[in-house]
Amino acid sequence: MRPRIPTILPSVRLLKRGYTYNAPSANYPGHVPTNIFQKLFLAAGSGIYSFFDPKRADLIATLGEATAVPFLMKRLRDQMLSDPTGRRILRDRPRITSASIRVDQLLSYPENTIGRTYAEWLKREGVSPDTRARVRYIDDEECAYVMQRYRECHDFYHAITGLPIIIEGEISLKMFEFANTLIPMTGIGAILAPLRLKPKQRERLRTIYFPWAIKNGATARPLINVYWEEILDCDVQEVRDELGIEKPPDLRELRKKRISRL
Partner 1 sequence: MKLCTLRATLPVRGRVFRTYAACRRLSSKSTLETVTGTQSGIAFDNSATISQTCSTTMSNLYDVVIVGGGISGLTLAAGLKSSPYTSNLKIALVESMSLASAKNWSPENDRYSNRVSSITPASRCYLSQIGVWDYVYAERVQPYDDMRVWDGVSGARIHFDAFHLGAEDASIAFMTENLNLQHALLSRLNDLPADPPVMVLDNTKVEGITEGPTFDDLDLSSWPSLKLSNGDIIMARLLVGADGVNSPVRSFANIKSRGWDYRQEGVVAVLDMEWDDRQRIAWQRFLPSGPIALLPMPDGKASLVWSTSPKHATHLKSLNGGAFCTLVNAAFRLGMVDLQYLMTRVDEEEITQEFEWRDGRLPIEAEGQQFPIRVVEVQEGSRASFPLKMRHCDTYVAPRIALVGDAAHTTHPLAGQGLNLGQGDVASLVRVIEQATQEGSDIGHEIVLQQYWAERYPINHMMLGVIDKLQKLYCTDFPPIVGIRTIGLEVVESLDWVKKIIMKQAAGA
Give me the 49-78 binding string for partner 1, x by CB under 8 A, dash otherwise: -----------------------------x
Dist. CA 169–CA 251, nearest whole Å = 7
- Beta carbon nearer to partner 1, 7 or 260: 7
Residues 122-151 that bind partner 1 (CB under 8 A): 142
Q: Residue 10 CB, nearest distance to partner 1 (Å)?
A: 6
Please enumerate in sequence order all residues whose Cβ is within 8 A of that of 189, keeping only pairs 6 or more positions apart, or say none: 60, 63, 170, 171, 174
Task: By CB under 8 A, tell whether 87 contacts partner 1.
Answer: yes
Q: Residue 1 CB, nearest distance to partner 1 (Å)?
A: 8
- Beta carbon nearer to partner 1, 1 or 262: 1
Task: By CB under 8 A, tell whether 7 contacts partner 1.
Answer: yes
CA distances in angstroms from 111 to 106, 121, 206, listed in the order given: 10, 12, 32
- Out of 20, 82, 112, 219, the only residue in the binding site for partner 1 (CB under 8 A) is 82
Q: Residue 135 CB, nearest distance to partner 1 (Å)?
A: 18
Task: By CB under 8 A, tell whether 91 contacts partner 1.
Answer: yes
Task: By CB under 8 A, tell whether 25 contacts partner 1.
Answer: no
235 bridge partner residues: 113
Side chain identity, residue 228 = W
Residues 92-121 that bind partner 1 (CB under 8 A): none
Q: Residue 227 CB, nearest distance to partner 1 (Å)?
A: 17
Task: By CB under 8 A, tell whether 261 contacts partner 1.
Answer: no
Task: By CB under 8 A, tell whether 29 contacts partner 1.
Answer: no
Candidates 80-88, 127-135, 152-160, 165-173: pick the segment binding partner 1 (CB under 8 A): 80-88
Candidates 9-17, 190-198, 214-222, 249-257: pick the segment binding partner 1 (CB under 8 A): 9-17
- Beta carbon nearer to partner 1, 78 or 230: 78
Give me the 181-210 binding string for partner 1, x by CB under 8 A, dash otherwise: ------------------------------
User: Can you give the three-state secondary structure of the chain, one letter per residue?
Assistant: CCCCCCCCCHHHHHHHHCCCCCCCCCCCCCCCCCCHHHHHHHHHHHHHHHHHCCCCHHHHHHHHHHCCCHHHHHHHHHHHHCCHHHHHHHHHCCCCCCCCCCHHHHCCCCCCEHHHHHHHHHHHHCCCHHHCCCCCCCCCHHHHHHHHHHHHHHHHHHHHHCCCCCHHHHHHHHHHHHHHHCCHHHHHHHHHHHHHCCHHHHHHHHHHHHHHHHHHHHHCCCHHHCCHHHCCCCEHHHHHHHHCCCCCCCHHHHHHHHHHHC
Footprint of partner 1 on this chain (CB under 8 A)?
2, 4, 7, 9-11, 78, 81-82, 87, 91, 142
